[in-house]
Amino acid sequence: RLNCTLAGQNLYPAGFYENLFIMSNRFSDSLFQLVQSLEKSEKRNFKLYIKRSSGNEDLKIVRLFDALDKSKEYEEKALLKKLKDVTKPQLANLKTHLYKQILASLRLLKSADSLDLQLNEQFDYAHILYKKGLFIQSLRIIERAKEIAKANQKINILPQFIALEKRIENLH
């Protein structure tokens, strides 16, 4: 425990350290719950996604994923024993990276089924093109996406597209 006092007064409110511990456990629980919630096909897809993006078969992230998948409950000490070459500070970074990679994998897998995800992806593409100065290409994507959104009554995303469109048009 750090000594965080100034002139004998605690800098942090009572229970700060306990809440900090709970928050770190909460994230670990969230990661564990995410891994446990995955269907067999989603797990397979994640492993293919991660191996394809790295090219390395023996990744720490895959070993962490497997260890969490096989566990009945989240136990950090047991994880560190299973992952002998991973230190505690590395484990924290690895868990964060794993969480993000699982979500990225799920996004790719589920985007074909979700018009909302597809429209958000189109917005991301249009924004990237805008940032690269490819305004005409960005406007083409915006126009197509707006038509799809209108045709499918997805009016909640239209303001994003319109705002980006106005930003681009103001440059010309």
pLDDT, tens digit, for every residue of 72-121? 999 999 899 999 889 989 999 999 999 999 999 998 888 888 999 999 99
pLDDT at 22: 41
Task: Let me know if 97 is exposed, middle or buried by CB neighbors in 10 A (0-12, 13-18, 19+).
Answer: middle
Residue-wise burial string across 37-66, b where 16 or more C-beta atoms lie within 10 A, e elsewhere:
ebeeebbebbeebbeeeeeeeebbbbbbbe
Q: How far is C-alpha 86 from the geometric centre of its chain's CA atoms?
A: 22
List pLDDT tens digits, range 1-33: 444 444 445 555 555 444 444 444 565 689 999
pLDDT at 7: 46
pLDDT at 27: 59
Q: How far apart are CA 23 and CA 36, in angstroms?
A: 20
pLDDT at 5: 45
List pLDDT tens digits, range 118-157: 999 999 999 999 999 999 999 999 999 999 999 999 999 9
pLDDT at 21: 41
pLDDT at 31: 94
Residues 46, 65 contacting (CB under 8 angstroms): yes
pLDDT at 33: 94
pLDDT at 166: 97
H runs (alpha helix) in the chain: 16-37, 40-54, 60-70, 76-82, 88-110, 115-131, 135-151, 158-171
Map residue 79 onto helix, strand or coil: helix
pLDDT at 53: 82
List pLDDT tens digits, range 34-68: 999 999 999 999 999 998 887 665 588 999 999 99
pLDDT at 58: 57
Classify residue 72 by its DSSP letter: S
Beta-carbon contacts of residue 75 (< 8 Å; ≥ 6 apart) = none
Quote the pTM value.
0.68
